[in-house]
Chain A
Amino acid sequence: DAGVIQSPRHEVTEMGQEVTLRCKPISGHNSLFWYRQTMMRGLELLIYFNNNVPIDDSGMPEDRFSAKMPNASFSTLKIQPSEPRDSAVYFCASSRYAGGTRVQPQHFGDGTRLSIL
């Protein structure tokens, strides 16, 4: 079975440019998560969706960051304008969620390594 697919794997761009990261969750999963990992801050959640609806975006660092999930099989994380401090590895994860107290494990993609010059 295909896992979570992220693209691109690597992105190098200049400060001020728009960056779009893409994620395809595992088929049948209805929760999607965006994380960011840096040496200084570790792995931190940015935003997550249930059934394509954003539930918690409290981890989004500032208004330059936005995320969308137009359908169950695709999500984007956009940074505009980008800054050098946005350089990090960005991970997407998905899981099944049916409500209640039993939360299913999250499955992660291999990430996008973003470098802003």
Chain B
Amino acid sequence: DAKTTQPPSMDCAEGRAANLPCNHSTISGNEYVYWYRQIHSQGPQYIIHGLKNNETNEMASLIITEDRKSSTLILPHATLRDTAVYYCIVRVGDQGAQKLVFGQGTRLTINP
């Protein structure tokens, strides 16, 4: 699976949009981009995933650049409950690569 690079930490004001970047310059054509987050003392929580088109769900939006070498997770109106470690993961969508390889992620702090 392609390696990802994320900033170790970020801060955002409550109510503002939180934009979390992820670089995956070695991504292959059949690799998906997944985002998970882990709130303190809880298990990781799936947020969103995409291949090449931008995606949006009730939690967030995922913007993938045209060359697919980077992506941005957007939390449109951050709340204090969004404080967590956010993981960007790329993986091939077949049985041989069902496993998730977690890096260090970005520790996002939402400030009141």
A residues near B (Cβ < 8 Å) are 4, 31, 33, 42-45, 48, 50, 55-56, 59, 91, 93, 95, 97, 99-103, 105-111
Give every chain A residue within 8 A of B98 (Cβ-Cβ).
31, 33, 48, 50, 55, 95, 97, 103
Which residues of A sit under 8 angstroms from B34, Cβ to Cβ? 105
- Cβ-based interface call for B21 (8 A): no
Inter-chain contact B95/A99, CB cutoff 8 Å = yes
Bound together, the chains give a CA A45 to CA B43 distance in angstroms of 13
**Chain B neighbourhood of A110, CB < 8 A:** 41-43
In the complex the two chains form, is A44's CB within 8 Å of B102's CB?
yes
Shortest distance from the beta carbon of B71 to any chain A beta carbon, whole Å: 16
Chain B contact residues, CB within 8 Å of chain A:
30, 32, 34, 38, 41-46, 49, 91-95, 97-104
* Beta-carbon contact of A102 and B93 below 8 Å: yes
User: Do B43 and A91 have beta carbons less than 8 Å apart?
Assistant: yes
Which residue among A4, A105, A111 has the maximum number of chain B CB atoms within 10 Å of its CB? A105
- In the complex the two chains form, what is the Cα distance from A108 to B46 in whole Å? 8
Not counting A45-B99, A93-B44, A107-B46, a sample of 9 additional A-B residue pairs whose C-beta atoms are within 8 angstroms of each other reads A55-B95, A59-B99, A93-B43, A101-B92, A101-B94, A103-B98, A105-B46, A108-B45, A110-B42
Q: Which residues of A contact B99 (CB under 8 A)?
A: 33, 45, 48, 56, 59
Residues A42 and B104 in contact, CB atoms below 8 Å apart: yes
**Complex: chain A residue closest to B38, CB-CB:** A43
What residue in chain A is nearest B49 (Cβ atoms)?
A105
